[in-house]
Amino acid sequence: MDRIDELIGRLIDEAQWESAAGELLTEFSRGDSLERLVPMLRSGIPAVVKAGAWIASELGERAAPLLGEMTVLLDHPLRYVRLFAIDTVLATAGANDGPAVVKAVALTGDQDTAVRWKAVKFLARVGDGQLAAAVDHLAEGRLRSRLEWLRSGDGIGVAVGLRDTDAEVRLFAAAAAARRADSDFDLLVLAAAVSDEEVASFAQEQLDLLALKTKLPLNSYDIVRIGRSATTIRLGIAGRTGVVRGISTPQVFGVVVDELVYTVDLADLTPTGERARSEDFRSGESIKVRPQRYGSEGR
């Protein structure tokens, strides 16, 4: 029995699963043939197929030869296997892999909340070329039209979609908002305020990641006091207290004051050290987040 077979045998013991899976990853990362992973991915033993799928997902682009196997696992009954398979499709699918992308996208309708969450993250991160491959693979229909809409980045359509009665449309709209967030955070702020808890939680996570990525001095839900400057006096919010709900640049923040969102320079904001409750922004009633329109003198 060689080292790989020995480690696979240890996966059956729940107490040894984590250490054995980690050592197997080390072996494959060092260059062991990926062909040795195929029997694991086809195994009927849950602990073995779970480890194989996890290893493939951890290998990133190097798992490209396993894409066919991982696409099959998008239908696996184990949630963890489906989650790992989504990661592998994202990392490895190319211009000719439309069927794999379509199957991953279809998991936005999965019965498992964690799998739907992962599928929405997939939609938010999938490349334009991967989306094009999926669209080319599909005949005219509901899913094709939604993917074409996702590619178009239509801001008005996203805002409308976040309020749609169809839960899947709302998830697509949240993913579309996340795809635009680096250049325009307003739609993601709107998504974080909807009453759909799944959509709002996803959007809030994306806002927090954006704040972390840009190393911002303020985070969503921080309560701030607005200083007195020519701009804030003109807007009528000088000296008021507001809640941070987004970012347009590292120096300009969206701040909710009396149910309106204002864009305010960082220099005009002083943290109070307190945070608002996120649930107050999700009822759709107590806080109605909508963009403030400014005149020619406004920001």
Residue 5 dihedral angles phi and psi, to the nearest 5°: -60, -40
Specify the DSSP class assigned to residue 214: T
pLDDT of residue 6: 93
pLDDT of residue 289: 34
User: Domain residue spans in the chain?
Assistant: 217-299
Interval 214-225: pLDDT, tens: 666 777 788 999
pTM exceeding 0.75:
no
pLDDT of residue 297: 37
pLDDT of residue 102: 95
How many Cα atoms sit within 13 Å of 252 on the Cβ side?
12
For residue 225, what are the β-bridge partners? Answer: 241, 270
Torsion of CA 136, 141, 147, 151, to 10 degrees: 80
Q: Which residues contact 219 (CB under 8 A, 6 or more apart)?
A: 208, 211, 244
Distance CA 101, CA 86 (A): 9
Using an 8 Å Cβ cutoff, are 49 and 40 in contact? Answer: yes
pLDDT of residue 82: 97
Name which CATH class applies to 217-299: mainly beta
Q: Which residues of the chain have pLDDT under 70?
A: 1, 153, 211-216, 246-250, 279-299
DSSP 149-194: HHHHT-HHHHHHHTT-SSHHHHHHHHHHHHHTTTT--HHHHHHHTS
